[in-house]
Structure 1
Amino acid sequence: MISIATRLLRGLSAVVMAISGLVLLGMMLLVSADVASATILGRPIQNVIEIVAFYMMVGIVFLPLGSTELRDDHIKTDILMQKLPKRANMACQGLVGLVGIAMLSVLTYVSFDKAVQATQRGEMMMGTTMIQIWPSRWILFAGFLFFLICVLVGTLRLIRQAATGISGGDDDVR
């Protein structure tokens, strides 16, 4: 079961990273076009700052969090963890995973609630013109949800490995 979830997450991670990469490329092109328009034509493109801040940056920052978790690329200091026996190390990693699941569950729930509220209100912001920003709340929710699922599957895999004495293998998320 975890192996199937891991394979699905790897595939979804590739899609999410591709989307994030395209958003980053789009941001680069949009900002460059805005600078060129302001320099050459004397008129910047309307709402570029708001589009970049409320849509593109949210997608670039929050969508890849789950993929980073799958690759075990988050910053960590494990000087003490390296000194622990393997069983104690796995227990600490499991505890960190459970705390992460709890925290991400709260963040996912709150972001979902805020996205629903923003959608119902039709949340907008005044830039050079009015711009709807409620869809960006759903991007944040999607990022937290994907991150939560990745941490959950990784923690379940770790717990299964600890229970069965497996040291890794083809079920490894990374």
Structure 2
Amino acid sequence: MSSNANEVQKERLGSEDPNQSSIEQISKFEKFVDSLNNATHRVSMLVLFLMMFLTTGDVIGRYFFYKPITGTYELTGLAMVIVIFLSLGRTQLKKEHISIDFVTSKLPTKIRESINVLTSCIMLALLGTTSWQLFAYAQRFGAQTSGDLGIPMKYFAILAAIGVLFYALTILLSIIQSISKVVKKNES
């Protein structure tokens, strides 16, 4: 009988808990941000792996055959753009960025999370501006290419902008999580 009453209540209200749909939306957003950052991190790991082989091949060629691989220094520098920028979001999700919290760790949870919301909002604004300017920078590059190999530079600026954009999404997720901790009622 009680399960029948729950079903009737579900039909009237749309769900058992009015906060259920917002929790599901946050969970979907969290999964979306996580999947984007996992994908870019995998690309970053692949590029790092290829960079290792390139550097090893260059060293072997240089010291044993007196024939280095042309453009290794250039490719390594451009690959570092991919490795760093495409890993920023994943690093934020894992909470592995450097943070100094010896003062804030002593504060109550609500105050600590409120400070986190404030600083994360500032960070979100900075990252949004940085991503926007990187996309604009890529447009200004035009047909500019790298020195030795002639690789178009705008693609690396676009990849950097995408990496910063995904990092901004993780900051937005952090803001949402901190706000939910601030407004959460004390559970004893």
**Global fold match (TM > 0.5):** yes
1:62-117 CA distances to partner (integer Å, 9 max, x unpaired)?
Answer: 11110111111111110110121222111101111111111111111111110122
Contact 2:33 2:170 survives alignment (8 Å): yes
Flag as ranges the 4+ runs of structure 1 deviating above 3 A.
164-167
Contact 2:55 2:72 survives alignment (8 Å): yes
TM-score (norm 2): 0.80
User: Helix, strand or coil for the counterpart of 1:98?
Assistant: helix
1:35-83 CA distances to partner (integer Å, 9 max, x unpaired)?
Answer: 11222332211111111102x1011111111011111111111011012
Equivalent residue for 1:95? Answer: 118
| Bigger-Rg structure (1/2) | 2
Greater relative contact order structure (CA < 8 Å, 6+ sep): 1
Count of residues paired in the alignment: 163
Between stretches 11-20 and 22-31, larger displacement belongs to 11-20
Percent same amino acid among aligned pairs? 25
Equivalent residue for 2:157? Answer: 137
Q: Unaligned 5+ residue runs, structure 1?
A: 168-174
Counterparts of 2:153 and 2:70, CA distance in 1:
15
Whichever residue aligns with residue 112 of structure 2, its letter is N
Whichever residue aligns with residue 107 of structure 1, its letter is T
Alignment of 1:78-89 (within 5 A): 78-89=101-112
How far has the Cα of 1:166 moved from its partner? Answer: 7.6
* Aligned with 2:93 (options 63, 66, 70): 70
Task: Check if 1:2 corresponds to 2:23.
Answer: no
Counterparts of 2:39 and 2:146, CA distance in 1:
30
How far has the Cα of 1:140 moved from its partner? Answer: 0.8
Between stretches 129-138 and 14-23, larger displacement belongs to 129-138
Contact 2:36 2:166 survives alignment (8 Å): no
Task: Check if 1:36 corresponds to 2:60.
Answer: yes
Superposition RMSD in Å:
1.7
Whichever residue aligns with residue 45 of structure 2, its letter is G
